[in-house]
A and B are shown apart, each in its own frame.
Chain A
Amino acid sequence: MLARLASKRLLEIRQVFRQPSQAFRSFSTALNYHIDSPDNNPDVPWEFSESNKQKVKEIISHYPSNYKQSAVIPLLDLAQQQHGGWLPVSAMNAVAKVIEVAPIRVYEVATFYSMFNRTKVGKYHLLVCGTTPCMIRGSREIEDALLKHLGVKRNEVTKDGLFSVGEMECMGCCVNAPMITVADYSNGSEGYTYNYYEDVTPERVVEIVDILKRGEKLPPGTQNPKRIMGGPEGGNTTLLSEPKPPPCRDLEAC
Chain B
Amino acid sequence: MGLGLLASRAIRPFNSSSGSRFLLRTIVSKPELQSPESSAAAADASPEPDLPPRTPVGGARVHFTNPEDAIEVFVDGYPVKIPKGMTVLQACEVAGVDIPRFCYHSRLSIAGNCRMCLVEVEKSPKPVASCAMPALPGMKIKTDTPVAKKAREGVMEFLLMNHPLDCPICDQGGECDLQDQSMAFGSDRGRFTEMKRSVVDKNLGPLVKTVMTRCIQCTRCVRFASEVAGVQDLGILGRGSGEEIGTYVEKLMTSELSGNVIDICPVGALTSKPFAFKARNWELKGTETIDVTDAVGSNIRIDSRGPEVMRILPRLNEDINEEWISDKTRFCYDGLKRQRLNDPMIRGADGRFKVVSWRDALAIVAEVAHQVKPEVIVGIAGKLSDAESMMALKDFLNRMGSNNVWCEGTGTQPNADLRSGYIMNTSISGLEKADVFLLVGTQPRVEAAMVNARINKTVRANNAKVGYIGPVTDFNYDCQHLGTGPNTLMEIAEGHHPFFSAISNAKNPVIIVGAGVFEREDKDAIFSVVETIAKKGNVVRPDWNGLNVLLLNAAQAAALDLGLVPESSNSIESAKFVYLMGADDVNLDKLPDDAFIVYQGHHGDRGVYRANVILPASAFSEKEGTYENTEGCAQQTLPAVPTVGDARDDWKTIRALSEVAGVRLPYDTLGGIRSRMRTVAPNLLQVDEREPATFGHSLKPEVAQKLNPAPFKSAVENFYMTDAITRASKIMAQCSASLLKK
Chain A residues proximal to chain B, CB less than 8 Å: 22-25, 27, 29, 32-34, 36, 42, 89, 101-105, 107-108, 111-112
Closest to B232 in A: A102
Residues of A within 8 A of B200 (CB): 33
Chain A residues near B244: list those with CB within 8 A. 32-33
- B binding-site residues for A, Cβ under 8 Å: 194-195, 197, 200, 202, 226, 232-244, 246-250
Report yes or no: A22 in contact with B195, Cβ–Cβ below 8 A: yes
Contact indicator A104/B242 (Cβ below 8 Å):
no
Residue of B nearest to A36 (CB): B250
CB distance from A206 to the nearest CB of B (A): 32
Whole-angstrom CA separation of A2 from B200 in the bound complex: 45
B620: shortest Cβ distance to chain A, in Å?
Answer: 37
B237/A25 in contact, CB under 8 A: no
B242: which A residues are within 8 A, CB to CB? 27, 29, 32
Contact of A104 (CB < 8 Å), options: B233, B239, B243: B233
**Roughly how many angstroms separate A24 CA and B233 CA in the complex, as a whole number?**
30
Q: Give complex CA distance A31, B535 in Å.
A: 59
In the complex, how many angstroms separate the beta carbon of A18 from the nearest chain B beta carbon?
9
A111 touches B248 (CB 8 A): yes
Instruction: Determine if A32 and B237 form an interchain contact, defined as CB atoms under 8 angstroms apart.
Output: yes
CB-CB under 8 A for A104 and B235, given A32-B244, A32-B246, A89-B249? yes
Q: Is the CB of B195 within 8 A of A108?
A: no
Q: B249 contacts which chain A residues (CB < 8 A)?
A: 33-34, 42, 89, 103, 107
The 8 A-B residue pairs with the shortest CB-CB distance in the complex, in nearest-first order: A102-B232, A107-B248, A104-B235, A32-B238, A32-B237, A111-B237, A108-B235, A27-B242
Task: Please measure, in the bound complex, the distance between the C-alpha atom of A106 and the C-alpha atom of B194, giving whole angstroms.
Answer: 33
25 pairs, CB–CB < 8 Å, chain A vs chain B:
A24-B195, A25-B194, A25-B241, A27-B238, A27-B242, A32-B238, A32-B244, A33-B200, A33-B244, A33-B246, A33-B247, A33-B248, A34-B248, A34-B250, A42-B249, A89-B248, A89-B249, A102-B232, A104-B233, A104-B234, A104-B248, A105-B235, A107-B237, A108-B235, A108-B237
Interface contacts beyond A29-B239, A105-B235, A111-B238: sample of 4 additional A-B pairs, CB < 8 Å, sorted by A:
A33-B237, A33-B246, A101-B232, A112-B237
Alpha-carbon gap, A101 to B241, bound state (A): 26
B417 vs chain A, min Cβ distance (A): 47
Q: Return B735 CB to nearest CB of chain A, in Å.
A: 22
List, in ascending order, chain B residues with CB within 8 A of A112's CB.
237-239
B703 to chain A, nearest CB (A): 45
Tell me, rounded to whole Å, the shortest Cβ–Cβ distance linking A34 to chain B: 5
A108/B197 contact (C-beta < 8 A), A27-B242, A32-B242, A33-B246 known: no
Chain A: minimal CB distance from B595 (Å): 54
Bound CA–CA A108/B243 (angstroms): 10
A173 vs B226: C-alpha distance when bound (angstroms) = 41
* A65 CB to nearest chain B CB (Å): 16
CA distance A224 to B18 in the complex (A): 82
Q: Which residues of A contact B237 (CB under 8 A)?
A: 32-33, 107-108, 111-112
Cα distance A25–B237 in the bound complex, in angstroms: 18
CA distance A32 to B236 in the complex (A): 9
**Residues of A with C-beta under 8 A to B195:** 22-25
Q: Say yes or no: A105 contacts B238, CB within 8 Å.
A: no
| A21, B696: Cα distance in complex, Å | 76
CB proximity of A162 to chain B, nearest CB, Å: 29
| With A22-B194, A22-B195 as contacts: A108 and B250 at CB distance below 8 Å | no
A136 CA to B319 CA, complexed, in Å? 64
Closest to B240 in A: A27
Q: Which one of B195, B197, B237 has the highest number of Cβ atoms from chain A below 10 Å of its Cβ?
A: B237
Contacting residues, chain A, for B235 (C-beta < 8 A): 104-105, 107-108
A25 touches B197 (CB 8 A): yes
Contacts of B241 in A (CB 8 A): 25, 27
Residues of B within 8 A of A32 (CB): 237-238, 242-244, 246, 248
Which residues on the B side are within 8 Å of A108 (C-beta)?
A: 235-237
The answer for the CA separation of A108 and B197 in the assembled complex, in Å, is 20
Q: Which residues of A contact B248 (CB under 8 A)?
A: 32-34, 89, 103-104, 107, 111
Complex Cα distance, B242 from A112, in Å, reads 10
Instruction: Tell me, in angstroms, the Cα distance from A76 to B247 when the chains sit together.
Output: 19
Residues in A whose Cβ lies below 8 Å from that of B197: 25
State the Cβ distance, A201 to closest chain B Cβ, in Å.
Answer: 31
Inter-chain contacts of B233 with A (CB < 8 A): 102, 104
